[in-house]
Chain A
Amino acid sequence: MTEATSVEAVRRWLAERGAVWTERWGPPPRGIYALRDMHPPSHAEDACRQGLPLVYIAAVDRNGLYYIFGDVAWTPQLEKICKAVTFVVEAEPLRDGLNAIVKFVARTRHLPWVSFRPEVLRLAGICDEVRIECEPREVWKKMVEAAKSKIKNKTEAAGGGRTAPEAEEAGGVSPGGPGEDGAKSANRLVYVGGVGDGGAKSTNGLDHVGGASGQVLHAEVRRVHGDGGPGGGVRGGLDPAAVAAVLRAVERCLGREAVERLTACLHV
């Protein structure tokens, strides 16, 4: 953190929060850097030459472990050209302390959650608040793809327009691997929703979409069913291509959470 998060701003925030902190000139102690991709030291050199200090917040837990928040990982080469100021803050209880600092840094530095190390986000309880932000992006994409594929397959199966092998082929990637008697039964649909989670089977593959962040959605789906709605499956009139297009548009315009809500709402 350099000029954008001034020393005074950190000081004021800590005071407002009533935190216990120690402020000292010097590099941060050794610890766990909370940010995932930090700037290389060379990026700080210009700011340092202008006399601006590098600002670090070091949250310390009761066991003396430091969680360091700063833009640049401190290296000995910075010692000659940069001055640093470190705020050592007591994070007790750990989750609340870290949570506040992570949110403060994210807000003042305009950082998305993905900029932080997943371990720190988890310890800070951020994943409990906005779980979807902690889910791996690639995994999430796969879930959306799987959901789309399932909608497509189900609709095609309901329409009877194509045979099962054709539908499977159209489903895209067939997971690689050897042919084996037990494996033959595994098709795209099983891959989407039926892969056992310790034996727990779902009657509706989509209520898993979005991971455990779908807890609320899950309840919502059940409520809709209880209200006399269709007991799962695709609504007859929905065109799969249209659904896929809508999902794509919703994802682009409104974000992933909206897609998740929409797929749950359609209770496919």
Chain B
Amino acid sequence: MFMRRGASALGTAEPAVLLFGVATPRGAMACRPQVDPAILLHRDPRAWEELLGWRCIEAFLERARGVGVRDLQGLVDYSFSAPSTMWILLAGVEFVGSYASCWEDYVRRRRVGMGARTPFPWLDVGVELDVDIRISPAYLLLPFEETKRTWQRNAPTLLRYIPEIPTALDPHYYISKFFPPQLRAFSARGYVWVANTKSRGRRNHALAEWLYWLNTRRMSHIDIMLGKFEPRSPIDMVVAKDCGGASARCRHFKRRLKCLHSAGV
């Protein structure tokens, strides 16, 4: 029951201007992303333009203006430095298309696939590492406090060095600073090599994704989709050659991507 109404001095919100796209029945602008929400951790505005499109970017900007974001670069920076706030900022955005369910899961239900997304080629390197990191950097999109148990169970190696992952405050900065240097050094051997080392019978795809993200500030599976994968050693060339243009799904890969098998090394 309303009892009282206060004075107005803050001003009213300006109506959203639809520059691109069409209005949905609920009045919001439909966004048709061509990529999973991990792009929010991908610091490359061109990739945003290419895979999200301006329809999504405008919708995201519309919501992020309240926190001082003015343009695409600002949006990319904000998202990269505060990934776990994005589900709040993007609440209300309408998603359509094949990736809509990934985004709906993230924004409305706060769910993000934990596992690695990159289709690294299979290779028998015969190296076993004592590493337990099964979480992709994309999991930074969720608040650490709510997912602490998952981190403890699935990335204990990481948590040994960074007990509290600052998902809302420059995670890249802090993780870069405290990521075990021994593991960081493995990137010199190549991401494909790292991905194919084993820990307790599992391949270290997630570790390879972390190394790529820490080195480039970009998500490896998105770079692969765009054919921009940055090889770190000759062994990585096979990714650029055979997996270019592969699409990735937001969840753990149940259906193996074509390039996983086609890449003969």
Contact = CB atoms under 8 A, between A and B. Distances in A.
B217 to A, nearest CB: 6
A160 interface: no
Contact of A139 (B8, B92, B174, B188): B174
Interface in B202-221: 214-217
Nearest to A67: B88
Interface string B164-206: 1111111011101111111111101100000000000000000
A19 B10 CA distance: 6
Nearest to A181: B185
A26 B67 contact: no
B2 A65 contact: no
Contacts of A199: 215
Nearest to B177: A195
Contacts of B143: 117-119
Interface string B1-45: 111111111111100000000000000000000000000000000
Contact of B85 (A93, A123, A136, A208): A123
Contacts of B188: 182
The winner among B6, B160, B183 for most chain A CB atoms within 10 A is B6
B89 interface: yes
B240 interface: no
B182 A15 contact: no
Contacts of A117: 143, 145
B182 A127 contact: no
Interface residues of B, number: 63
Interface of B: 1-13, 63, 65-68, 82, 84-85, 88-89, 91-92, 129-131, 143-145, 157, 160-170, 172-174, 176-186, 188-189, 214-217
A95 B179 contact: no
Contacts, number: 181
Contact of A195 (B2, B164, B169, B184): B184
A127 B169 contact: yes
Given A65-B92, A139-B178, A134 B6 contact: no
Given A117-B143, A195-B176, A135 B169 contact: yes
Contact of B183 (A62, A92, A127, A177): A177
A49 interface: no
Given A18-B9, A190-B181, A197-B177, A65 B164 contact: no
B92 A64 contact: yes
12 contacts: A21-B5, A64-B92, A91-B66, A118-B145, A118-B168, A134-B168, A138-B163, A177-B130, A178-B131, A183-B185, A190-B181, A199-B215
B168 A93 contact: no
B181 A198 contact: no
Given A177-B129, A195-B178, 12 more contacts: A93-B67, A95-B68, A118-B145, A119-B143, A134-B168, A136-B169, A138-B162, A177-B183, A182-B186, A182-B189, A190-B181, A196-B184
Contact of B68 (A20, A125, A208): A125
A45 interface: no
Query: Per DSSP, are chain A's interface residues mostly helix, strand or loop, or mixed?
Result: mixed
A175 to B, nearest CB: 5
A133 to B, nearest CB: 10
A97 B10 contact: yes
A258 to B, nearest CB: 21
A121 B88 contact: no
B109 to A, nearest CB: 14
A14 B129 CA distance: 58
Nearest to A21: B6
Nearest to A64: B92
A225 interface: no
Given A19-B10, A139-B162, A196-B184, A121 B67 contact: no
B2 A92 contact: no
A196 B182 contact: no
Nearest to B78: A122
Contacts of A143: 177
Given A20-B10, A117-B145, A25 B181 contact: no
Contacts of B131: 177-178
B10 A178 contact: no
Interface string A205-237: 000100110000000000000000000000000
Given A190-B181, A195-B179, A178 B168 contact: no
A198 B176 contact: yes
A150 B4 CA distance: 60
Given A18-B10, A118-B166, A118-B168, A177 B180 contact: yes
**10 nearest CB pairs, A to B:** A94-B66, A18-B9, A186-B181, A182-B185, A183-B182, A136-B164, A177-B182, A118-B168, A63-B92, A138-B163
Contact of A119 (B4, B88, B130, B177): B88
